[in-house]
Amino acid sequence: MRRAFRHWLSDRLRDAPSTVKQFVEQSIADTTLGQHWRDEVLISVLLSDASEAFFDMFEQLIFDRRL
C-alpha cells in the first residue's frame, strides 16, 4: 500500500505539482497523521523527479518544522 501511495504521489508531483501542493503541505504539517504517513509523503517527494520544485515550494516549511 505504501509503495502504491509513493508511486501515485510521485506521478502527481511530476504531472501536476500545483494540484498536490496543498496535500503535501497539509500532510507534512498534520501531527494527527501517523508519522509513517508523513514520512511516506517526504520519501515520495524526495524520490520524485519533482524534488527540486518541492524544495522551492516548501523550503521555509521544512526549516520552520525542522523536518
Domain-by-domain residue ranges, the chain? 2-65
- Looking at per-residue pLDDT, the higher value among 58 and 27 belongs to 27
| Residue with grid cell 511516506, as numbered in its chain | 40
Reported as a single tens digit per residue, the pLDDT across 7-43 is 899 888 888 878 888 898 888 889 899 999 999 998 8
Q: Are 16 and 53 in contact (CB under 8 A)?
A: no
Q: What is the amino acid identity at position 13?
A: L
Question: What's the predicted TM-score (pTM) here?
Answer: 0.73
C-alpha cell at 44: 515520495
Residue 56 or residue 65, greater confidence: 56
